[in-house]
Amino acid sequence: MGYPLGSLNTVVAFTVYKVTPHHSRCRPPQALQSAPISSNLDEPFNPQKTYPVLTLPPEIVAEIFAHWLPNYPECPPPRGILSPLLLCQICRQWRMIALSTPILWRAISVELRRGDSEKRLAAELELLKTWLKRSGDCPLSISLAHSRNITHRLVPQFLRAIVAHRQRWEHVDLLMPFEYMHLIHGNMPLLRNLTFGPSNYPHGRARFPDLFHDAPHLRRVILTRNFFKSFMALPWAQLTHVEADCLYEHECIDILREAPLLVACTFRVCSGASVPQSDVLTHTCLRDLILDKVDESSTPPRLWMVLDCLMLPALRSLQIDAPFVTLEAISMFIARSHCFLEDLRIIGTSLSRNPHTERRCPHFLHSHLKNE
């Protein structure tokens, strides 16, 4: 080009000047030609002078990285702007810090979709194993979701990979085919929160009576749509919070009977063939109860049957779907339980507040009747 270009920086500066149309903002061309080239242009490139952030101690950078990710136990995306993999693509120094900071890799999310190619599944499996290795000895938050009807031979390998680290499970979300549930076994000493259920309907004669029974700290469970209590038994006696997406009326009663420590539960109920037992169950710990219907249910659930089987003296908050239960049934339940409700929400009702209703149901004086 005819100019003594000493470094790549000089090339960049010269090129920018030549293509910039606003010459009035720069020195005139003759001034550039007559001025001596600064000696520092020939010095080796020093990234720490150019990017002061690289002078921070690795411990500080690692802490910044940790705060940049979604709050644990929320799982970051495996790829993209909020993935720790991005930190490995900025520069060598950041890559070394990211790879040596296990807490960046302690939350893992994998979603397997129908139609995934073998090449993609193999790549996702390798990424999962790498992620687990980088997490070191940290407690883990894991989300593993299978779409319905995935039958590829590599699918059970994902579950085997995470079960191998079960002693570090703390927050786990497992949605898997029913036929692979036998792979879940062993001690889980750190597990506290679980979202669990098959991605397809249970079938055959297989039963799993001891799922998660070696998880002494498990307290909170969310059950997905295809969970059937008759097929899968959880350590109900130690649970304090349960949320279920689809239960039959008698399953609600059975869970409350087997989980005496529950303080809060949400049951979305569908109508089943079995009728709850007529014996009244007294549960002395439950403080918050939500009874709702399953949206796609064609037959209205018999929520009054659930209430008729319960006595809940510690109850403080009750929310119920009103079209399937009468005010009289709720009033009788409250009177029988001798509870002091602080919040009563009746969802979907067309009933209005009136003196006659309040005289018959004095417990509704501080309730919320919602037309939703």
pLDDT tens profile 95-124: 999 999 999 999 999 998 877 888 999 999
DSSP string spanning 177-243?
-GGGGGG--S--TT--EEEEEESS---TT--BTTTTTT-TT--EEEE-TT--TTTB---GGG-SEEE
pLDDT tens-digit readout, 18-47: 333 443 344 444 444 444 444 455 566 666
pLDDT at 48: 60
pLDDT at 47: 62
Rg of the chain over all Cα atoms, to the nearest angstrom: 31
What token pair was written down for 3?
């100019």
DSSP string spanning 80-148?
STTSHHHHTTS-HHHHHHHHT-GGGGSEEEEEE-TT--HHHHHHHHHHHHHHHHHTTT--EEEEEEE-T
Below-70 pLDDT ranges, the chain: 1-50, 148-151, 202-206, 273-278, 296-298, 322, 324, 349-372
Q: In a 3-state reduction of DSSP, which class is residue 345?
A: strand
pLDDT at 25: 40
Other beta carbons less than 10 A from residue 8's beta carbon? 9
Element (H, E) at 337: helix 327-337
CA distance 362 to 285: 24
- Contact criterion met (CB below 8 Å) for 341 and 315: yes
Sheet-wide strand order for 107-112: 107-112, 140-146, 169-176, 193-198, 220-223, 241-248, 264-270, 288-293, 317-321, 343-347, 368-370
pLDDT at 203: 66
pTM across the whole model = 0.78
pLDDT at 298: 67
CA end-to-end span of the chain, whole Å? Answer: 75
CA distance 313 to 337: 5
Q: Where are the domains of the chain?
A: 8-45, 49-105, 108-370
The alpha-helical segments, DSSP class H, found in 22-83 are 29-34, 47-50, 58-68
Residue listed under structure tokens 């590829």: 152
Pairing outcome for strands 317-321 and 169-176: unpaired
Element (H, E) at 321: strand 317-321
- Contact criterion met (CB below 8 Å) for 300 and 273: no
CA distance 178 to 173: 15
- From residue 272, alpha-carbon distances to 297, 300, 309 in Å are 11, 10, 16
- From residue 273, alpha-carbon distances to 164, 226, 242, 303 in Å are 40, 17, 23, 14
